[in-house]
Structure 1
Amino acid sequence: MPPTSPADTAQIVLFDGFDPLDAVAPFEVLHAGAIASGGALTVELVSAEGPREVVSGSGGLPLRATAVLDPDRPGIVLVPGASGRIAESDAAGTDPRPSGEPIPVLLGRALTTPLPDLLKAAMANPEVLVATVCGGSAVLALAGLTEGRHATTHHQGMDLLDATGTHAVAARVVDDGDLVTGAGVTSGLDLALYLLERRLGPRIAHAVEELFAYERRGTVWRPTGPVPLPL
């Protein structure tokens, strides 16, 4: 049966040096959800600059963005992290991936594009849910968009969130209302399945779980309920 209301759009944002798994895993999950829901969701790859080929930080794998990120479109805006060396010092041989630029450099370069302003507009839109995978939350944090919010990221980036005034939570997926964040790269699967559950319902999410033979891990953390005592 066709959807009874206009479809939401999931815009997955690409920037130079992005981590391809952060983007492709949610793309596949959300696309499957779009099919299972009869078109209640559309999914596309976008960039801050518009249609272009965007080169990832993993072996130079290119993906094509087909549109510019539109913060006025109702639905989901999903920001992946970057793929590269952890820091400049890794060039000395402590990282088994000697090629590629450091992740902080890649994230910093993304912040010099129109991306921060577009993300700020998306976060101000009550019809948009902003989501991130891995270092995507660092992009938001460095742009000053998550101060006072709860978020997670890769375990090696938790201090950065704290330094920006973000409440870093050591959970695989953190739901802070209109901001939903995922931890390390494979958490993109868990995040996307949870987004399907929130937007399209648990039956759609479960059908996609079965399709990919994958079960979500961990409890989705929310800032609700009593604060636990020390264990």
Structure 2
Amino acid sequence: MLAQIVLFDGFDPLDVIAPYEVLGAGGVIAGGALEVELVSAEGPREVPSGIGPLSLRATAALDPARAGLVVVPGAAGRLPDGPVDVPEDGVQARLAAAARTGLPALVGEALDRPGVTVATVCGGSLVLALAGLLVGRTATTNHLGLDALAATGAQAVAARVVDDGDLVTAAGVTSGIDLGLYLLERELGPRIAHEAERLFAHERRGTVWRDVGVAPVGRSGAVAGAA
């Protein structure tokens, strides 16, 4: 399986590096069953992150025909000072800019392909939601963006990882580690995920939320879980 982790201008480095390392390690542990590469919608290029001068190189183009797993990160930047403050170097502006590129169309193609899983970390789900790809879908994001996610027509869940079939989303930036481990378990099995957990000395947090089982009494399913 090929996992493509997407870079876009202003991406959050930890959203990328955490799943990259976990998935890459899982692939090695599984004897090469999973390969990981950094990509962009535009093809090979240096992609500036949202943190200072740090950039990463995309070595290929995002290609839903090649990938079995596509991971979309969130953005890094200045947080707004108030409800009407949307700084040009802020997280909101960078997520909105990514939603206006060719990225959503390619991710939409991935979601339409049987056997392809799309995953997001932090504000990555908002990139897709702003492009209209998550209407009616269950997803999560950073706790600061749950209301914005719900406003796009998505079913926003305050959980650390949400599994909605071919869409798996994770909450704040460090949840990218938990996302990577869960994807290893889902795609390659629990023994591979357990070895990766031991390698990184990290125990996953929270319950992966799925729309199955008995619903909590007196609580909305849209807010079940804990980020």
Common topology (TM > 0.5): yes
Candidates 134, 137, 157, aligned match of 1:146: 134
In 1, Cα distance between the equivalents of 2:104 and 2:140? 19
**8 Å contact 1:123–1:130 — kept in the other structure?**
yes
Question: Match of 1:30, as an amino acid?
Answer: L
In 1, Cα distance between the equivalents of 2:178 and 2:2? 19
**8 Å contact 2:2–2:67 — kept in the other structure?**
yes
Deviations 1:21-54 (A, max 9, x none): 0000000000000100001110000000000000
Runs of 5+ in structure 2 lacking a partner? 220-227
SS at match of 1:72: coil
Comparing 126-135 with 101-110, which one deviates more in the overlay?
101-110
Candidates 79, 84, 102, aligned match of 2:90: 102
Q: Which residue of structure 1 aligns with residue 118 of structure 2?
A: 130
**8 Å contact 2:4–2:67 — kept in the other structure?**
no
Residues 1:39 and 2:16 are matched in the alignment: no
Shift of 1:112: 2.2
Shift of 1:102: 1.0
Deviations 1:64-86 (A, max 9, x none): 00000001124110000000112
Residues 1:83 and 2:76 are matched in the alignment: yes
Deviations 1:3-26 (A, max 9, x none): xxxxx1110000000000000000
Shift of 1:111: 1.9
In 2, Cα distance between the equivalents of 1:100 and 1:18? 14
Shift of 1:60: 2.6
In 2, Cα distance between the equivalents of 1:163 and 1:131? 20
Matches within 5 A, 1:207-222: 207-222=195-210
In 2, Cα distance between the equivalents of 1:12 and 1:88? 31
In 2, Cα distance between the equivalents of 1:106 and 1:82? 6
Question: Match of 1:189, as an amino acid?
Answer: I
Shift of 1:191: 0.4
Shift of 1:89: 4.5
SS at match of 1:215: coil
In 2, Cα distance between the equivalents of 1:12 and 1:61? 17
SS at match of 2:210: coil
Residues 1:23 and 2:11 are matched in the alignment: no
Comparing 73-82 with 38-47, which one deviates more in the overlay?
73-82
Question: Match of 1:73, as an amino acid?
Answer: R
- Give the TM-score normalised by the residue count of structure 1: 0.91
Residues 1:227 and 2:220 are matched in the alignment: no
**8 Å contact 1:73–1:128 — kept in the other structure?**
no
SS at match of 1:38: coil
Shift of 1:172: 0.3
Q: Which residue of structure 1 aligns with residue 158 of structure 2?
A: 170
Runs of 5+ in structure 1 lacking a partner? 1-7, 93-98
Shift of 1:87: 2.4
Question: Match of 2:41, as an amino acid?
Answer: A
Shift of 1:167: 0.4
Distance 1:176 1:127, change over 3 A: same
- Give the TM-score normalised by the residue count of structure 2: 0.92
Q: Which residue of structure 2 aligns with residue 4 of structure 1?
A: none
**8 Å contact 1:84–1:100 — kept in the other structure?**
no
Q: Which residue of structure 2 aligns with residue 156 of structure 1?
A: 144
What is the RMSD computed on CA atoms of the aligned residues?
A: 1.7
